[in-house]
A = this chain, B = another copy of it.
Amino acid sequence: MSQMHLGVFVLGTGHHVSAWKLPDSWGNAEDLSLLQHVAKTAERGKFDLIFFADALNTGPNVHPSMMVRLEPLTLLSALAMTTSHIGLAATASATYSEPYNLARLFASLDHISGGRAAWNVVTGAFPEAALNFSRDHHPPHAQRYASATEFVQVAKGLWDSWDDGAIVMDKREGRFADTSRMHVLDHKGEFYTVKGPLNISRPPQGHPVIIQAGASDAGRALAASIAEIVFAVQQDLNAAKAFRADLRELASQSGRNPDHMKVMPGVSPIIGETEADAKAKLAMLVEMMDPKSALKVLSERLGQDLSDYPLDGPVPDLPPSSMMQGHAVTLTAMAKAKNMTLRELRDYAAAAMGHRLLVGTPEMVADGLEEWFVAGAADGFNVMPSWFPGAFDDFVDHVVPILQKRGLFRTDYTGRTLRDHLGLPRPAAPTR
């Protein structure tokens, strides 16, 4: 029987905007000891991966977990030393970096961690970032996806600069490297000109695992062609099934084995001994909430500043957003279906950044995951705890054992690399 995959998606103070105010929430996104605790807990729970969000801007009203934080690649290199099996995924922009630099950082993390690196390819969801990178404006959606596609192609080419085992260190023959197994990429594309070779050996995984979260048409096309994990945002079982089926079909069309693409929607569990207990926790978080930050989360997801709309009126009809289309579409559909007010949608989105909430007992949460997994709506889930460390400890201590008992999740690691955990093949070096 196939089993689900689990990742924990970490925002330091928790995904709920008011998480940091809870009495038992400690630390923030810069607190290494907290992040080490979360990584160890995830590994104790036999998770496939720990996954860090990122953005290249900040400001006075952003989500507290996003205001200040450690940079993901340096952070994961540190966490590689205090863990042994869990996959280590970093979000990194293909818009505001150079392919040579980023390919190197991920290759280095893959070497340091013994084959546990993954790259969540984003094109930059916050247009403010442009102003930190000597640019006048954030490139338009289509251009960001076109250049990101080329960026990933270049990164893969650079990872293949050296064939496996090209560094022979043959002391007797006096040959350090077999340079006939070194390859010059010589990429000349629309956006990038990169000669290569990269100055690091082929990563242990061949290529770090590629994650992608785009839900727009361009995002789906990119995911279908490159993503090995799709970080999806889905609220509705049937929509999630259709989304996964569509992506698998697109992947097949582009010549890929769809089983080598794991669709993992985000889900935020709030767990209590009883359902009422869980609901009370959520109510407390909503009560503690800073309304401005909460509305900003929703505004970003719907692509428009919502501060002038009446909170107790209906969710307004908005023009289609070119940012975070997945969130915009699923949240708007949910609001329509459930006839939600703007306030209700704000409170929902504030809990898990617009992802699916599961509020209840450990059994109810396990049921909610099993239902989607068995129905073919998901290959696994990115767990987005509302606060750290408590909400995640609860999940690992109380939900994971149920999933294991039901045979839905591994009871121990059987391999060492993230590709092993996910059942993904190691990309062969290209034949030349």
A98 to chain B, nearest CB (A): 6
Contact A74 B28 (CB under 8 A): no
Q: How far is the CA of A162 from the CA of B69 in the complex (A)?
A: 12
Q: Which of A127-135, A220-228, A313-321 contacts B (4 or more CB under 8 A)?
A: A127-135
A21-34 CB mask vs B (1 if < 8 Å, else 0) is 10100001010100
Contact A69 B199 (CB under 8 A): yes
A82-103 CB mask vs B (1 if < 8 Å, else 0) is 1000000000000011101100
This protein's copies in its complex: 2
Using a CB-CB cutoff of 8 Å, which residues 190-227 of chain A contact chain B? 191-201
Q: A68-B200, A74-B112, A174-B290 are known contacts; what are 18 more A-B pairs with Cβ within 8 Å?
A: A28-B169, A28-B176, A56-B100, A60-B182, A64-B176, A67-B167, A68-B162, A68-B177, A69-B200, A70-B108, A71-B108, A73-B73, A74-B74, A75-B108, A77-B78, A78-B80, A78-B112, A96-B100
Q: How far is the CA of A96 from the CA of B99 in the complex (A)?
A: 11
Complex contacts, A201 vs chain B, CB 8 Å: 30, 68
A51-70 CB mask vs B (1 if < 8 Å, else 0) is 00001111110001011111
A128-160 CB mask vs B (1 if < 8 Å, else 0) is 100111110000000000000000000000000
A201 to chain B, nearest CB (A): 5
> Is A171 at the interface (CB under 8 A from chain B)?
yes
A152 to chain B, nearest CB (A): 16
> Is A250 at the interface (CB under 8 A from chain B)?
no
A167-188 CB mask vs B (1 if < 8 Å, else 0) is 1010100101101001000000
